[in-house]
Homo-oligomer: A and B are copies of this chain.
Amino acid sequence: MISSDIVVHIKSMPIFKNLPSHNMEQLASIAIDQHFRRGEIVFSEGDKGTGFYVVVSGRVKIFKLSFEGKEQILHFFGPGEPFGEVAIFEGWRFPAHAQCVNDTRIFFFPRDAFVDLLKRHPTLSLNMLAILSMRLRKFTHLVEDLSLKEVPGRLAAYLLYLRERNGGRSFFELDISKSQLASLLGTIPETVSRIFTKMNKQGIIHSDGRHIQILDAERLRCLSEEGERL
């Protein structure tokens, strides 16, 4: 069967969890397998969305650009994560840009076939609702960070988040470049750099390139949650 590889991937995607097996095969039959090189654009803000995407392997970033070209990253999506769904339920156009950070494999699901499936499978709808809700929650945090925290606080929050994602270990690697980190935190590389330097000097962390060690997690928490100064 031509799509057996595709079915295997689809079965492992959280968004399709608890769907009957024959629907997975149905999905596989409508999925379009796409390959992108590092740096390639999947879609641009304002493009018409005729379906949505799920990352199979690699990494995609969703971002906005200002007039002067400053970038604000909204999400990074990795294997198993869907993106571009907003355009299929409302408004038709993508509200931001999507670009591959690495060489990336993506499945594209055309709108109509997918909506049909949604209509027949409440489970799928509930999965989708949960995903959108999670995303709204993430945005709430992003807005909070941008509006109510200073940059050191945002960075502190991100470091604590990375620690959590690494099973609570205080020694881990940055998963993105520092300039991408700046775009994610709503600032510029110079500022990130200066804050790293300060945190190192104050013994809050020990960092070397992308290797980070958290020495004083409590201090990071205060920076992030209590607006303490560096």
Contacts and interface: CB of A to CB of B under 8 A. Distances in A.
A139 B134 CA distance: 13
**A-side interface mostly:** helix
A96 interface: yes
B140 A143 contact: no
A32 interface: no
A86 interface: yes
A137 B86 contact: yes
Question: Could you say which of A74, A133, A137, A147 has the most chain B C-beta atoms within 10 Å of its C-beta?
Answer: A147
B125 A126 contact: yes
Given A95-B137, A139-B139, A140-B96, A130 B67 contact: no
Contact of A91 (B95, B134, B149): B134
Contacts of A189: none
Interface in A34-74: 64-68, 70, 72, 74
Contacts of A137: 86, 90-91, 95
A143 B146 contact: yes
A148 interface: yes
Contact of A66 (B90, B95, B115, B227): B227
Contacts of A132: 89, 129, 132-133, 136
A225 B67 contact: yes
Nearest to A146: B146
A120 B119 CA distance: 10
Contacts of A115: 126
Question: Top 9 closest A-B pairs, CB basis?
Answer: A125-B125, A66-B148, A90-B133, A139-B139, A89-B133, A119-B122, A132-B132, A67-B227, A147-B186
